[in-house]
Structure 1
């Protein structure tokens, strides 16, 4: 286990500490995507990441997400790329990033005179900003400074008996060390609301947890499709309840301190459930169109890194926050080990216990916080997706007093 006193973080103006020092190139409408991609591609292999919102029509959720992402503790500065006629409030985003103490700049493609001129301006600014953020103050980082999220993707019959409960063990250790752990998602807790709500630290939170799962069940019923893919069935899962039990294991055994929605940052150490299912009647389609959509939402809530469990073999990484890939199936690990950080499948052959793998995950959390690259980082994965959603604010009983 790495000595906490050896961990270093990038200190931000709001007191949070980052484990990476990334420049984000953020497009504010799909029409600006190509220009932003050309700018970020110029810095391939460096800490310059492409993110963005493709929609032209305004959306409060997307606005909140982009503001949270551009001021994430792992982000050192932000270049905003605008076409010029989209509805996104680009000037407010620019002001917010600048007010956070980060270098920020807006490139307007129409105003600048087109693609080539906008790309040239963007590249020149990023080169200058990279020199600026190299001087960000580096301070001691403790486990208690960390927020760690977890998602599962490409699950199979091994996920719920190896990788997911091993993450639960790591989460228990993280919470015991006053860190913050976030698990998802209410759409994969259907059938477990009674059990899960018993772990809430207050009766009010218990009721909020139960209602969030009931909302998810209603939403999916209206959509006519649940969080269950053909690959799950091919991998040996039979029902959403079975998948839910496996997904639930990622939460470990700690008391549940709160329920948050995308962009909410937990206010105290503990374990939190993230509700990713939109409020109200379905208006924008399925709530989790890909695993990366949930990864982005956890990053917007402050996650420094993501623990990603998979049995089938997902390879995705992420912009802004490192992804630690934990493989549930030993056959998948053998076939795809270049993409996998931890082999949890060895539990099946009694080569390791759940505690052993849980400790291995927790040790890797510290190593990644200390700068060690994950497999997805080394391979250059920077997937990112942000779409339309709508959420009501969380209730007063959702967070610890």
Structure 2
């Protein structure tokens, strides 16, 4: 609601599936993305520098740098990178490996390719070192960016959205300002058919009963209470 001194409050505009429509990017699994990013992904911390140098010249062209900052791969790391590289907002992926790590790079590349996305794998120890890998990576990115424009566009609406939040650093005002504001936005999005996700269990302390009352099932209500009690 908007309030201007001397004027009566104005009602919020209705946020509905009919009023909020735009063109997104169609993925082969039926999901839709609002972006069509190219990811440069390092599979071990030792490849971080090379991946960053590859991505740097294209930072304003939808190229993003992500990766696994450890040295010893685990199931969790693989799962995270698998989900990120096949996210609906991703259209192409360049994997950068050092070569001696035990991350299953061939498997990840195959998964990305099977999802219909453009993908390439560069192994630093096989490509001839740092400088040659950076050069090869930049050439691939430069050649691939125009190909992203060929990804089919599709109509999208609020019901296609999955919106997530992450804590940016809580202080004494969070419960008075940011949290209620996010809650109001989420209420409007959910009412319009979208999916909203929040985290940071500690932020729920004191209001778990309010959320439990809004739970879709008794089981979910109990799970909410248990999560806060554990925190």
Relative to structure 2, which stretch is displaced further, 12-21 or 23-32?
12-21
The equivalent of 1:168 in structure 2 is 183
**In structure 1, what is the Cα distance between the partners aligned to 2:180 and 2:40?**
36
CA contact (8 A) 2:25 2:153 kept: yes
The equivalent of 1:53 in structure 2 is 68
The equivalent of 2:30 in structure 1 is 15
**Pick from 96, 116, 126: which aligns with 1:101?**
116
Residue 32 of structure 1 and its aligned partner are, at CA, apart by: 0.2
The equivalent of 2:139 in structure 1 is 124
CA-atom RMSD in angstroms? 1.7
SS at match of 1:188: helix
- TM-score (norm: length of structure 1): 0.51
Q: Does 1:4 align with 2:4?
A: no
**In structure 1, what is the Cα distance between the partners aligned to 2:184 and 2:204?**
19
**In structure 2, what is the Cα distance between the partners aligned to 1:109 and 1:93?**
17
- TM-score (norm: length of structure 2): 0.87
The equivalent of 2:197 in structure 1 is 182
**In structure 2, what is the Cα distance between the partners aligned to 1:203 and 1:44?**
46
Q: How does 1:1-400 map to 2 (within 5 A)?
A: 3-5=19-21, 7-215=22-230, 217=231
SS at match of 1:152: coil
**In structure 2, what is the Cα distance between the partners aligned to 1:187 and 1:4?**
33
**In structure 2, what is the Cα distance between the partners aligned to 1:176 and 1:195?**
18
SS at match of 2:66: strand
CA contact (8 A) 1:56 1:88 kept: no
Residue 192 of structure 1 and its aligned partner are, at CA, apart by: 4.1
**In structure 2, what is the Cα distance between the partners aligned to 1:187 and 1:89?**
35
Q: Whose Rg is larger?
A: 2
**In structure 2, what is the Cα distance between the partners aligned to 1:35 and 1:155?**
34
* Paired residues, number: 215
CA deviation string 1:140-189 (max 9, x = no partner): 11011111112332333333223321221111111111100111122332
CA contact (8 A) 1:58 1:87 kept: yes
SS at match of 2:166: strand
**In structure 2, what is the Cα distance between the partners aligned to 1:201 and 1:154?**
29
The gaps in structure 1 that reach 5 residues or longer are 218-401
SS at match of 1:81: strand
Using a 3 Å threshold, how does the CA distance of structure 1 residues 193 and 170 change in structure 2: closer, same or farther?
Answer: closer
Residue 44 of structure 1 and its aligned partner are, at CA, apart by: 3.0
